[in-house]
Structure 1
Amino acid sequence: MDVSHILDELNDAQRQAVTVEAPHCLVLAGAGSGKTRVLVHRIAWLIQVEHASPMSLLAVTFTNKAASEMRGRVEELLQIPSAGLWIGTFHGICHRILRRHADEAGLNPNFQILDSDDQYRLIRRTIREMQLDEGEYPPRVVQGFINARKDDGVRPDHIDPGGNPLTAQMIEIYRTYQAACERSGLVDFAELMLRTVELLRDNPARLQYYRNRFGHVMIDEFQDTNTLQYALVRLLAGGEDARLFVVGDDDQSIYGWRGARVENVQHFVRDFGPEVVRLEQNYRSTRTILEAANRVIDHNDDRMGKNLWTEGEEGEPIRVFAAYNEDEEAEFIIGRIQDWVESGRRPSEAAVLYRSNAQSRLFEQALLRADIPYRVYGGLRFFERAEVRDALAYLRLVHNPADDAAFERIVNVPARGIGERTVAGLREAARTRDRTLWDTTLHQLNTGALGGRARNALAGFVELVRGLAEEAEATDLGGLMNRIIERSALIEHYRAREPADRAEARQENLDELIRATENFEPSIEDEQAGLSPTASFLTQAALEAGEHQGEKWEDCVQLMTLHSAKGLEFPLVFMAGMEEGLFPHQKSTEEPGRLSEERRLAYVGMTRAMELLYLSYAESRRLHGQTLFGRPSRFVGELPAGLVQDVRPRLQVSQARAPREHGGGLPSLGSRVSHAKFGAGTVLSVEGQGENARIQINFDDAGPKWLVAGYAVLERIG
């Protein structure tokens, strides 16, 4: 049989994987090594060479897009329709099984699927019907609790509250919510998986049917499987004649925060004893980029191990840029993108990657100023994010009480007991009197037209806004925004209502909004028009929010988080904010396993680059309302010196001498230095020049000290 169309375009390792004869196989597919090609050609090999029935193949991946791509490539390669193939996501496959066996699974045959928003609303209704306080049991937090338990395969009766009343109540909400789903014939996404596992686990005949049906089970992105997904794989592939073929990369497991278990790769090796095939030839990046990524990921323990390589060109060195602050960092990156575009390359070939969504604002502003189209991949532009709009609504109402839209947005955010019925009454009264909502509220408070609870709640809201308006008279715009976020308790509001990772992202965006107001300078045109700084800032925010970002089909620079970048590739990549505490994130040093995942995230980011890779960090950065002097990320320090080129020499103390001995050079902000008496510390400030300059250093043990440069003998450390 002629198999050239299946094997000729494959390299040796890919051929080994496609033609493997062992019952079970683990394909460790490095970044850019052609894993989708291997899966598609494996399906072709099984059908055309091993004469497997298409009906006996089950191929599972993580996104509908990936499943659709795989199905299309199989059709193109085999020239046969793929309708008989079971190719889909875990949830899609489980839905297909449950539709066929709803009665056996204890489901209404006409069950409906709850999406995430519908699930949230049902949980919220359940909490209200149980007469519980949403502040104490926020629906988003409860939703996360329920889904996490289901992803672990756990029903309410199997959870031990451990004597914790809060946990015990969460379990009861879970039980009540699930009962409501059963009554209404509703199934959430996590339930699709759990119900399928229970169906197969508790029904030997049905399990045997699917084991006989699917002689070949193939799983893509195996490193992203959670506990329940791995349980399903073990059930389906547990028969004597089963053949399990999984493709994954433990070095690209970056979703632990949403339940993925990188240890499943090791568990698979332990449970199934597969043949292991490593795909290490990369078809995306230059040798320099790959070598640098290899050396960074080598610092992680407990890897299966592989070493990416390419037959491609050596490529340019990795550029490292040390900016004075985040503004200079953004200007530098956008300047390089301008050079790229002016050289004839396309904007869409460039991507800016960052650890935190809040970092996007500066790049958005700089791109707008440069008139370069851009798109925030997988997310909203900064001024369109809900928490930013909430804070700006407070600022708008303080600035202009007649702003009815702002009033309605934040009158009950955070929740203060002002329901929709009360707002509707205010709206109707305002329409009747032809006055604003603010004026109508004051009128009803003064005339006693409101009931006790609504009256007290609205009086508290009015007092809050008036107090902020008084503070606006005595502080600048940055100080006012700081007070708005503090006194409105928006951060506490999100912490109470949402899972920790989402609440943290919202706080980072609010911190960035404070920074934006602190650094804002009105345009000459706004000043000439007599606009106050507040009015000018609100105008700019509205205009930036109104500037529609590029559509998917447009030629735009791509802005995205490192998590969103997985699976993508770009000729020119910038990884911004490479500082300790930002990336790796501060919390990664506090939780077991998090630092390894942060390093895998750095590896993923680096391997997105095809031709040029820039890493940048700022010596000082405004975060959480403070100017922080950070150190370069350890991931920058893990790069081999021979592969790196400093775009500008990294600023540091070069030699431990008094200024008069080396021409008056002074240490830079953020430098780590050592003093004979006070020990190690970080340079916070430098005032003046030469040997009479004053240097403020925050010593690790002795605290902040001012030293005179001419007498402070400092040595560089780190």
Structure 2
Amino acid sequence: MIPTKPEHVQWTDAQWESIYAKGQDVLVAAAAGSGKTAVLVERIIQRILRDGIDVDRLLVVTFTNLSAREMKHRVEARIQQAAIEDPSNQHLKNQRTKIHQAQISTLHSFCLRLIQQHYDVLDIDPNFRTASEVENVLLLEEVIDDVFEKHYDRLDPTFVTLTEHISTDRDDAALRLMVKNLYDFSIANPDPIGWLHALDQPYLERHLQQHYLDILNKYVRLYLEAAQNAIEEAYHQFELVGDFPKHIDFIEGHRQFLRRLLSEQLIDKTAVATYQLGRIPPKPKAVKEDPMLDAAYENFKAYYEQFKDNLNAVKSTFVGRDDETLLEELQHLAPRVKYLATLTEDVIHAFSRAKRARNILDFSDYEHFALQILRDEQGDPSEIAALYRERFEEILVDEYQDTNRVQESIIGSIKRGDESNGNLFMVGDVKQSIYKFRQADPSLFIEKYQRFNQPDQSSGWRIDLSQNFRSRKEVLSTTNYLFDHMMDAEVGEIEYDAAAKLYYGAPYDEVDIPVQFNVLMVDKDREMTASEQEAYFIAQQVQTILETQKVYDPKTGAYRPAQYKDIVILERSYSNARLIQQAFKDQDIPLFVNSKQGYFEQTEIRLMLSFLRTIDNPLQDIYLVGLMRSVIYQFTEDELAKIRIVSPHDNYFYQSIQHYMADEAADPAIVAKLKPFLNDLVRYQDYSQHHPVYQLIDKLFNDHYIIQYFSALVGGRGRRANLHGLFNKAVDFENSSFRGLFQFVRFIDQMIERGKDFGEENVIGPNDNVVRMMTIHSSKGLEFPFVIYSGLTRDFNKNDLGKPVVLNQHEGLGLQYYDEAQGLFYPSLISMSIDLINQKELISEEMRLIYVALTRAKEQLYLIGTSKKADALEMMAAVTITDEKLAAIDRFNAKNPFQLIYSILSKHQNTNIQRHQQFESDVEALDAAVKPRLQLQHIDARDVLPTEQDLATYQGHAIETLEARLAATPLDDELAQRVMQQLLYVYPYQQAVQQASKQSVSELKRQLDTEQADTNYERVRQYRLGVATYERPQFLQEQQHTAAEVGTLMHTVMQHLPFKEAGLTEQALNDYIESLVERSIIRAHDVNVIAMEEIKRFVQSDLYGRIAKSDEVYTELPFVVNQHQVEHTPDTTDASIIQGMIDLVFKENGHYYFVDYKTDALIRRKGMSDEALERQLKEKYRVQMQYYQRALETILKCPVNGYLYFFKYGELTI
């Protein structure tokens, strides 16, 4: 029974209910800033004070050790305060003692205590210890090596096939990584072996396969509904253009097709696969001549492209093969899936034995051993579990949304009753579940959230804490508005309904401070990248906050000026950290990046690792030369070159050093530097044989004053901390079961290979007055007056989608179908289905990350994105408005946070998408909780970024500061002369540095063309390369193809074209194109772009006939040659490597010919003769053809002739 809430208490009704609810399992859905920690502490206190429960009879589970310490401290402080107020209360006196035995900890800590007390059940040595990360990584690698070695010895045919399926020709790294991933997934389950054994069942049993067909059909329908919405919008847009029957009939045909298709309960996939889109009739002349009609026509085309995009997605991905074929493929894959599971099971058992032999446990062992103690052989709670159920009056779990299935089983074993009469109290917020990469399972929370409080079910008690005591109204209303249109059960995994919304509860004044959404329109003429421009704009935003904003103190009701420490920059990752650091340094803004990345990239750590690697094995040129060039030994490039020249053909630079030392003509000055270097190397190698790694590192520090040197540089405090951190990691390593320099270096290499990082050492305290940059993950649970949420246009990481093997905790393992004969991968039914589920879960978690970022802000929130083109923003605005939510498929396919946020705002006419346009909802009746206050601004980068002169000024200030320091530092003449020589040194081969070591033939052609045009080639080349690195946005990919894309597509068709002496009929050619689509070599929607008439003309040409009858034919032939070989110039050390790809080479009557296909055409001026056209075409590609001819002649050692084949004009002999 919940006591009546007194009028004077500060708790809200929902909080009061959360504190006192009992008699059932209780789930508290605590929104961001709703005071869940205070509620949890108060509940513990009231269970002690009101219910008379001893504190050590409560099990309180937190997510981190820090949270556990803070929770314990808060409870202890409240107990002491209550004891002071009631000194005669013996119960309270007892609690002051029992608090030290209280079970307030992470679940891992609880499991460890359980194992220590019941080790006999597990038959393990009670003196076990916890493996360090170092030990765990190395031991697992060692185990996988052993397991794979045994399977290679057996050479099971399925293993061989599996290796060919997943690995590459070079190594089995992909298969090993897959086994590691499977290991991680399996141990996140209560029964890892059972989970593995079940993986192949859907590949064998038809009744299980229907589930995956249902998933596939669901997404087919989703895409087709999106296509229908788009074609309806296209139709409505064309109504504004006018009455043009051909166009109306064309659109109407598509409308009727989709209406018929979607009216059926089961989609006719064959109808979709065979449906021909056709081509839009030409734009009417009347439309071209009328700007208003032309604009409406372009809007129509934008929606039509969306229709095509969605329909082609279905055609190319989902309906290429019928259901029966998909199911037959699964039977073929079943043995490989089973073998993968067997491999992983062998690793689990071998790893367990290896850990037991060393008497070590890792964190996953904590959970699984605890479960073994708490469960009997039938999987029911054991007698020991019954003791714990009796002991704990209540189990309280914080951050329940981040629990996994193993942890859920442990908790379920020691809780009392079922949901309707249990003693489990859970608190969390599924909208902040952002740890799926740690195998957290938000579905556990969601299932209970949906089930609790249902009148027709015997379940638990759900309470929603929705009042936010952190943020201003403007932050909350904007967050609500965005998520009201973004998140639902379909994409987001939970409905963002009235219960999920944030309601204002903080005691701020009524000042109106709208959220700022700034879209930086990138200056494409600047040499700065978009990310660099964004970084400088962020720095400017910080300056603006400091100059214009104040922080409100609710306790005093007064304002104070904003400080650096009030500001945080949140991004999805640290990928942009270096650029932001540079921008802030230029603007003289103190910044601390709380990075968990970049440790191995720090100069001081790279130096130390080069030193250690060279001592371990000096036959590693990169590390050896790097060490010699370092500040420790200070060899110059000239000295290293002289050493190498003496014996240029040595395999290793260390051999060159030995030969140089034996050379009588060696430079005495270089020999004098080499002697101490080699002596050091021998001395340290001997030392490493008899001392632990940390002592070797300490010796290097002391012998070469490494810590003193790096401490004196800019950022010395952090550099010193990084070096001390390396020493501490070596100490941890020596405390493991591994020893020696080789194993330590191997461990570091494993960490780098796995993408793991230690992170730079933290040297900033919470009160230091600096701006902080951190990831959204790091910011969870924190709050800041001013939040700058940037990097919105950086794409979601979808690298794990579409791989040969995909995993999902609930859906199992999806293995792509591998066609051994053709060497091609096809998505299988299960891999397609799991990919779709994983993409939905990925987007859902990315939405939750956005939610966490937005809800960190107390005073004001700044969103920053970039755009290179205004028309890209207009395309985002062309979203289909089907209801109040952004269409599910638009959310499902979102590329980045910016696309989601901007598309939502673009739905409403009142945004106007204009610069400095105040945003208001178009629904005036919206509840205040969801009516946003947001200012959307499009900002021209040219108006706000520092000019080149400004940047030069920043550098000038730095030089002036350095000069002032040098002037105050006495230097001897010899040292001053050496410094000046180094500063004034000009590298004599600067031209070779600016020339790429490897160049393509096309690049050389552009270079020569530019030189002939008297153009600055370097600038042209940089610009072109820069443009080429950017992929076309998704929403443009299916629109009108660029000339380059058409060329690539035609080359792809020609690459696989069969050459038959009898020729190819039109039907055979069409069948060939269809086979390219079926084999996923080209996409279905690309077929319309292929110039079939031009390919037919080639097939009917004499050149095709000659190739078909030739002795040898090679397509897409790659080559790599030295530049001097094809240019017939002297062999110099600075010559480039030329690489290229020749479209086709054939051998006829003992003579070789090459063919280069061209899809472009020249504008033929009136009166131009065929001969003049041919000369112009040949001249255009003369340089490129000469390189091809000379390269082939160099390789084949015989004369070669070639042809330029223009699809527009035919063949030309070169």
- TM bracket (short chain): 0.5 to 0.7
Equivalent residue number for residue 97 of structure 1? 114
Structure 1 residues 140 and 13, CA gap change in structure 2 (3 angstroms): same
Equivalent residue number for residue 51 of structure 2? 50
Equivalent residue number for residue 126 of structure 2? 109
1:250 matched to 2:430: yes
Q: Quick one: which of 155, 172, 183 aligns to 1:136?
A: 172
Structure 1 residues 93 and 429, CA gap change in structure 2 (3 angstroms): farther
Q: What is the letter of the counterpart of residue 474 of structure 2?
A: T
CA contact (8 A) 2:15 2:39 kept: yes
CA contact (8 A) 2:430 2:446 kept: no
1:355 matched to 2:356: no
Q: What is the letter of the counterpart of residue 152 of structure 1?
A: N
1:604 matched to 2:852: yes
Equivalent residue number for residue 557 of structure 1? 771
Q: What is the letter of the counterpart of residue 194 of structure 1?
A: H
Structure 1 residues 131 and 247, CA gap change in structure 2 (3 angstroms): closer
Equivalent residue number for residue 899 of structure 2? 633
Instruction: After TM superposition, list the pairs within 5 Å mapping 1:295-310 onto structure 2.
Output: 295-298=481-484, 299-302=486-489, 303=494, 305=497, 306-310=500-504
1:364 matched to 2:381: no
CA contact (8 A) 2:416 2:423 kept: no
Deviations, residues 216-256 of structure 1 (Å, cap 9, x unaligned): 00000000001111111211214367411100111111111
Deviations, residues 380-429 of structure 1 (Å, cap 9, x unaligned): 45884699959x9899988997449899xxxxxxxxxxxxxx99999999
Equivalent residue number for residue 173 of structure 1? 347
- Computed over aligned residues only, the root mean square deviation of the Cα atoms, in angstroms, reads 5.0
Equivalent residue number for residue 189 of structure 1? 363
TM superposition shift of 1:45: 1.1
Deviations, residues 265-304 of structure 1 (Å, cap 9, x unaligned): 1333548822111111111111111122123333222326
Equivalent residue number for residue 531 of structure 2? 326
CA contact (8 A) 2:25 2:423 kept: yes
SS of structure 1 residue aligned to 2:10:
coil
Tell me the distance in 2 between the aligned counterparts of 1:351 and 1:251.
Answer: 21
Equivalent residue number for residue 470 of structure 2? 284
Equivalent residue number for residue 150 of structure 1? 187
SS of structure 1 residue aligned to 2:395:
strand
SS of structure 2 residue aligned to 1:295:
helix
Tell me the distance in 1 between the aligned counterparts of 2:100 and 2:361.
Answer: 26
SS of structure 2 residue aligned to 1:613:
strand
Q: What is the letter of the counterpart of residue 134 of structure 2?
A: D
CA contact (8 A) 1:57 1:217 kept: yes
Between 299-308 and 190-199, report the one with greater CA deviation.
299-308
Structure 1 residues 430 and 635, CA gap change in structure 2 (3 angstroms): farther
Instruction: After TM superposition, list the pairs within 5 Å mapping 1:693-712 onto structure 2.
Output: none
SS of structure 1 residue aligned to 2:846:
helix
SS of structure 1 residue aligned to 2:935:
strand
- TM-score by structure 1 length? 0.67
Deviations, residues 482-538 of structure 1 (Å, cap 9, x unaligned): xxxxxxxxxxx99x96799x64x99xx9xxxxxxxxxxxxxxxxxxxxxxxxxxxxx
SS of structure 2 residue aligned to 1:218:
strand
CA contact (8 A) 2:55 2:102 kept: yes
Paired residues, what number? 563
Unpaired stretches in structure 1, ≥5 consecutive residues: 408-421, 441-492, 510-544, 622-628, 652-668, 685-698, 707-718
1:222 matched to 2:403: no
Tell me the distance in 2 between the aligned counterparts of 1:19 and 1:103.
Answer: 39
Identity of aligned residues (%): 26
TM superposition shift of 1:168: 3.4
1:274 matched to 2:433: no
Equivalent residue number for residue 1165 of structure 2? none
CA contact (8 A) 2:61 2:398 kept: yes
Structure 1 residues 215 and 385, CA gap change in structure 2 (3 angstroms): farther
CA contact (8 A) 2:567 2:786 kept: yes
Report the structure number with the largest CA radius of gyration.
2
Equivalent residue number for residue 156 of structure 2? none
SS of structure 2 residue aligned to 1:98:
helix
TM superposition shift of 1:551: 4.5
Equivalent residue number for residue 710 of structure 2? none
Deviations, residues 460-484 of structure 1 (Å, cap 9, x unaligned): xxxxxxxxxxxxxxxxxxxxxxxxx
Structure 1 residues 580 and 215, CA gap change in structure 2 (3 angstroms): same
Deviations, residues 634-687 of structure 1 (Å, cap 9, x unaligned): 123335842221243589xxxxxxxxxxxxxxxxx9999999xx96799x9xxx
Structure 1 residues 3 and 618, CA gap change in structure 2 (3 angstroms): same
Q: What is the letter of the counterpart of residue 867 of structure 2?
A: E
Structure 1 residues 129 and 5, CA gap change in structure 2 (3 angstroms): farther
Structure 1 residues 273 and 185, CA gap change in structure 2 (3 angstroms): same
TM superposition shift of 1:368: 1.7
CA contact (8 A) 1:360 1:382 kept: no
TM superposition shift of 1:22: 3.5
CA contact (8 A) 1:351 1:574 kept: yes
- TM-score by structure 2 length? 0.41
CA contact (8 A) 1:584 1:598 kept: no
Deviations, residues 72-119 of structure 1 (Å, cap 9, x unaligned): 111122225321321000101111111111111332111111132221
SS of structure 2 residue aligned to 1:645:
strand
CA contact (8 A) 1:285 1:610 kept: yes
SS of structure 1 residue aligned to 2:78:
helix
Between 120-129 and 204-213, report the one with greater CA deviation.
120-129
Q: What is the letter of the counterpart of residue 347 of structure 2?
A: I
Q: What is the letter of the counterpart of residue 336 of structure 1?
A: Q
Tell me the distance in 1 between the aligned counterparts of 2:404 and 2:661.
Answer: 54
Equivalent residue number for residue 62 of structure 2? 61
1:566 matched to 2:760: no
TM superposition shift of 1:213: 0.5
TM superposition shift of 1:136: 3.3
Equivalent residue number for residue 211 of structure 1? 389
Q: What is the letter of the counterpart of residue 224 of structure 1?
A: D
Q: What is the letter of the counterpart of residue 183 of structure 2?
A: I
Equivalent residue number for residue 104 of structure 2? 87
SS of structure 1 residue aligned to 2:187:
helix
CA contact (8 A) 2:518 2:864 kept: yes
SS of structure 2 residue aligned to 1:108:
coil
CA contact (8 A) 2:793 2:897 kept: yes
Structure 1 residues 151 and 398, CA gap change in structure 2 (3 angstroms): same
Equivalent residue number for residue 591 of structure 2? 374
